Structure 1
Amino acid sequence: MCLLSFISLLSLSISLFLMGLVFLMNDYSIFIEWELIMLNSSNISMTMLFDWMCLIFMSFVLLIASLVILYSKEYMSADYNINRFIMLVLMFVLSMMFLIISPNMISILLGWDGLGLVSYCLVIYFQNVKSYSAGMLTALSNRIGDVAFLVAIAWMLNYGSWNYIYYLEFMKNDYCMQIIGYLMVLAAMTKSAQIPFSSWLPAAMAAPTPVSALVHSSTLVTAGVYLLIRFNILLVDTILGKILLLISGLTMFMAGLGANFEFDLKKIIALSTLSQLGLMMSILSMGFYKLAFFHLLTHALFKALLFMCAGSIIHNMNNFQDIRFMGNLSMTMPLTSSCFNISNLALCGMPFLAGFYSKDLILEISLMSNMNLLIFFLYFFSTGLTVCYSFRLVFYSLTGTMNSFTLNILSDEGWTMLKGMFGLLLMSIIGGSMLNWLIFPTPYMICLPWYMKQLTIFVCIMGGLVGYMMSNVNLYYINKSLLYYNYSNFFGSMWFMPYISTYGLIKYPLLYGVTMNKIMDQGWSEYLGGQMLFNTFIKMSQLNSILQNNNFKIYLLMFLLWLLIFVFMI
């Protein structure tokens, strides 16, 4: 089933990509409306919009999904229910397809809720306490966005149709459309884990690694960004766009800072996803939706590869995820380490890899835009933090000293996993330049002073140096300083967000529940109920025993008395 799914998804991906190129070159789009039910004057129809953006995004989702399924063939080989796993992944991809092709709020909801439901099933796949907790946090956080979406559907009744694409352009200043815009931004913020809904994204790492590769690259977390790309008209030059710019900038900064204090391999990569989502949201809120889409696609390629490499490392380390117990893996796993390095450098924005074309363009466009000092600081400091935690991760896992257990047999012999990784490796190298030529056939005119042009590379180099200094064991006093560990609790816990969304919510209801249990169930309710009845019955039976006292005459007399009472009662 794995191979069949891989071949069919890959062939569909290639055909959709070629179709997307034709649509892009001819500036062509197709709108299909399929009437399901016509009842009096009401009709329920399924609408589909095919344009270059939707076709290229679908082809990338299918490409990553096909390689993830190939990778899962070996990664999940010990699972007896691997076919069930593949079916869940296919349902996940199908939900994303519905979301991508829908210009209609109702059909988007079909994909939107499908993503939420299947993601819950995938997060709890390993069925332990940690994954159940993470699944519930993921599902309930996303329900907030789902409710916003349902309310937006109710507001769309004001226009007589749910095909929002008809109304966006000429109704953008309408009061109803502004409310719908606010609701859409709330829905997108929960799905793409912006502050204050960020805590579910690292928790969702309880899912199997192939799922993480799919979720964090092109499906669940990017659904919010894609939705706002479709609604981008409502964000340009509005207070809504400014609010989203601030929130996404803070998310980017918070995630970059938190990743530098984290030791779980998958959580570091999850926080890097959160940082990149903040980058996409921020440039989108400034009005550059094509740039956000460009970074969405390039990020999908190298992030899926990064997760696949992390999965391969975890697989070889006997399911150990702590980077402090790794080290010097480049000697024992050279091919995986090469893929890991290339995807990490693409994430940092290394020139001529996939991430460089989108990240560098975003930062230079932001420098040319009308933004204040705070946003400027958040952009560039977060970029430095990205390089910082990437270098720290490389030092701890690939170079540095070997801290592994003695019985780990490390090797690169998982050829099926490597085939899936090599497919994405190629795309991580050439994908950025290819998409740059396609989406921006006429280059942007970037006019900046020399020192501003060099600012990006300077920030990256400084970030790399700080990352090396933080992780190098020889610099003992910098690495172990009291200041570092005092603040790591705040920064490492994502600004106490998980405490607010989990412990903060459940602490007082649980304490109240204990008190009520003591007062009600084990207090007067128990005294008047169970215990009282029990004691009454004991006393009555004792009295009955004393009255009869082996006297047959009294026994028969009482029996006759009860019989008469019974007859009269009837």
Structure 2
Amino acid sequence: MNWRLKICIVVFFILFFISLSCFFVGLNFCLFKTCYFIDWEVLNLNTISITMTMLFDWMSLIFLSYVFFISSMVVLYSNDYMEGDPYLVRFIILVISFIFSMMLLIISPNMVSILLGWDGLGLTSYLLVVYYQNFKSYSAGMLTVLSNRLGDVAFLISISWMLNFGSWNFIFYVDMFSFLLEASVLSFLVIFAAMTKSAQIPFSSWLPAAMAAPTPVSALVHSSTLVTAGVYLMIRFNCLIVSTGYCKYLLFIGGMTMFMSGLGANFEFDLKKIIALSTLSQLGLMMSTLSMGFCNFAFFHLLTHALFKALLFMCAGVMIHNLCDNQDIRCMGGLLYYLPFTSVCFCVSNLALCGMPFLAGFYSKDLILEMSLFGLLNLFSFFFIFVSSGFTVCYTVRLIYYIMLGGVHLSKCVNINEGLYMLKSMLSMVFMVVISGSFLSWFIFPYPFMINLPLFLKVLVLLLSLAGIILVYLLFYSSYNCSLFSLYFYTSTLFLGMMWFMPYVSTQSISLPFLSLGKFLLKSFDYGWCELFGGQGLFNLLRCVSGFIQFLQLNLIKTYLMWFIIFV
């Protein structure tokens, strides 16, 4: 056993033990309605007291247990996936720092300490996205960090706005002062920060671009940590947000995000980007759920989604790793015969994503869709939520067809090998995906929900699933006698497949004018007037004055008199 493997195994056991401890303590807190609010005095100097506030309740502890569990599996998985990487230890350190930032964000009821975890997530995610150090990674990392900095600015303004309440501990104020202007402004700033972190429209383009990171990073960052940080913050502020009236706007934004990402995933051919767009669709569903006031349902779906999406990324990583880093699904096919266990895990995670009965996604997603029928939804929001759920089935069936059931399209001879540690981590994730939905529903909800709906509405989700399968057949089935139906509408297909041209809007149309303006200001002010009347002008003035003073200090009085007489 080499030292790299020893480090991975030690880190795996530590994270797994912490995960189990947090999970059982969180279940105890959930059953007995316990909550601990801890103030730790870090420094006390004269009249200055610096304290660190921590909140331990069932929600924070269970979420922590999921973060540590997925992190432990990702570390074990990385031992095989990044076997040839000479900087594996650096990668493990970055992952641990990311976990620490997420832990700080989860347990903090204080805006300042949340900002430490919030900015830590942004910085570490940038370092992980640019891990491979090429032009594509640098571009994706810059788009990621600049998009998240907009939310960081809103978060900083919210910290200064919290001074109106007298404290930075927001946990004391979310249930009151909803009639004040200060609470309304605070809600808007928190929603804006959460939208950038969770990649809602119009900040959605950074999430698919961040797939330039290694696949284990995607399994951790884009399933249970970075992108869900905004949703978790919204869950904590849910009472304040519902009472201040921003819910209808949030419902519209979440529905638009679901619709846009579901359509884009059906026309995408990059495997990791399809899964990233799937994550974006589920984040839109969580935001829509929060806007309807179902914060416990959103948290439930947040936990189940973290499991099957991490498993989905792990299975995709095994396929990419065995196909010489090829991510195009058109070059795959027939992997059911070459990677049988990975294919089974992939299908289980995809079925959980679609909400198939008795898997993790069924207990949360079906509950959200049926409870949304009891809300005061207009036809527009109803269309977004349910049609987007049909798109989920659509791109899932398309993905399974291209990868598992199609013909063998391998472009070269490859050595197919499912790594031992990859299989162990995926086996643990499959076990959790199968049992976690029902297990969590028993503890999170004090009583089972009995939802009585008309027969048509009760089977509506199933009908949408069947409609999604039919849509896949019509749009993407081709044979020797017929071409793809989507090719007849190439312009529309290009528009939908490019996320409504949002990557171009987020980069070229915005960055180029601002870069040109920055260049003009740099030339005109920094290198121009500010330089002439600022540092360089002061330097020239002082040089002239010091030269004149030095000339006077030569003490040549006769010379001065002679020159004076000559000129006079």
Deviates more, 1:302-311 or 1:434-443: 434-443
Which one-letter code corresponds to 1:394 in the other structure?
A: I
Deviations 1:116-143 (A, max 9, x none): 0000000000000000000010000000
Of the three residues 245, 250, 261, the one matched with 2:251 is: 245
1:428 to 430, 433, 437: 433
Q: Which runs of 4+ in 1 moved over 6 A?
A: 511-520
Q: Which residue of 1 aligns with 2:369?
A: 363
Q: Does 1:403 pair with 2:416?
A: no
Q: Could you report, residue by residue, the CA deviation over 1:20-47 in whole angstroms, capped at 9, with x for unpaired residues?
A: 0110000000000112334666533110
Q: Which residue of 2 aligns with 1:551?
A: none
Alignment of 1:94-173 (within 5 A): 94-173=100-179
Cα RMSD between the aligned structures?
A: 2.0
Residues 179 and 244 in structure 2, CA contact (< 8 A), matched pair in contact too = no
Return the match for 1:385 from 375, 387, 391: 391
Matched, 1:288 2:326: no
Q: Separation in 1 of the partners of 2:369 and 2:205?
A: 27
Secondary structure of the equivalent of 2:268? coil
- Give the secondary structure class of the aligned counterpart of 2:246: helix
- Structure 1 equivalent of residue 226 of structure 2: 220
**Per the alignment, do residues 236 and 445 of structure 1 end up closer, same or farther by CA in structure 2, a change over 3 Å counting?**
farther
Matches within 5 A, 1:53-72: 53-72=59-78
Superposition map of 1:302-313 within 5 A: 302-313=308-319
Within 5 A, what are the aligned runs for 1:136-535?
136-236=142-242, 238-412=244-418, 414-474=419-479, 477=482, 479-508=484-513
Deviation at 1:473, TM superposition (A): 2.2
Task: Give the drift of 1:366.
Answer: 0.3
Going from structure 1 to structure 2, the CA distance change for 1:451 and 1:237 (only over 3 Å counts) comes to farther
Contact 2:41 / 2:50 at 8 angstroms: preserved in 1?
yes
TM-score, length-scaled by structure 1: 0.88
Structure 2 residue 79 is matched with structure 1 residue 73: yes
Alpha-carbon offset, residue 241 of structure 1 = 1.1
Q: Percent identity?
A: 59
Report the Cα distance in structure 2 between the residues aligned to 1:126 and 1:287, rounded to whole angstroms: 41
Length, aligned pairs only = 521
Q: Which amino acid aligns with 2:508?
A: Y
Aligned AA for 1:223? A
Q: After alignment, is 156-165 or 274-283 more displaced?
A: 156-165
1:216: Cα distance to partner? 1.3
Q: In the aligned structure 2, how far is the partner of 1:393 from the partner of 1:110?
A: 39
- Does structure 1 conserve the Cα–Cα contact (< 8 Å) formed by 2:487 and 2:493? no
Q: Which secondary structure does the structure 2 equivalent of 1:406 belong to?
A: coil
Unpaired runs of 5+ in structure 2? 1-6, 526-558, 564-568
Q: Matches of 2:343 and 2:126 in 1, distance apart?
A: 31
How far 1:406 moved relative to its partner?
A: 3.2
Judge conservation of contact 2:198–2:230 (CA < 8 Å) in 1.
Answer: yes
Offset of residue 415 of structure 1: 1.1
1:408 and 1:198 mapped to 2: Cα distance? 35
Residues of 2 paired with 1:368 and 1:491: CA distance?
31
1:274 and 1:170 map into 2 onto residues whose CA distance is: 32
Deviation at 1:462, TM superposition (A): 1.2
Query: Cα deviations across residues 513-545 of structure 1 (Å, max 9, x unaligned)?
Result: 99999999xxxxxxxxxxxxxxxxxxxxxxxxx
Tell me by how many angstroms 1:510 deviates.
Answer: 5.8
- CA distance in 2 between partners of 1:469 and 1:348 (Å): 20
Per mean C-alpha deviation after superposition, the further-off stretch among 308-317 and 467-476 is: 467-476
Shift, 1:178, TM fit: 1.2
> Is the contact made by 1:395 and 1:471 (CA closer than 8 Å) also made in structure 2?
no
Report SS of the residue matched to 1:398: helix
Contact 1:245 1:282 in 2 (8 A): yes
TM-score (norm 2): 0.89
Q: Which moved more, 1:152-161 or 1:37-46?
A: 37-46
Contact 1:47/1:102 (8 A) holds in 2: yes
Q: How much does 1:425 deviate? A: 0.5
Name the SS of the counterpart of 2:223 in structure 1: coil
The residue matched to 1:19 in structure 2 has which SS? helix
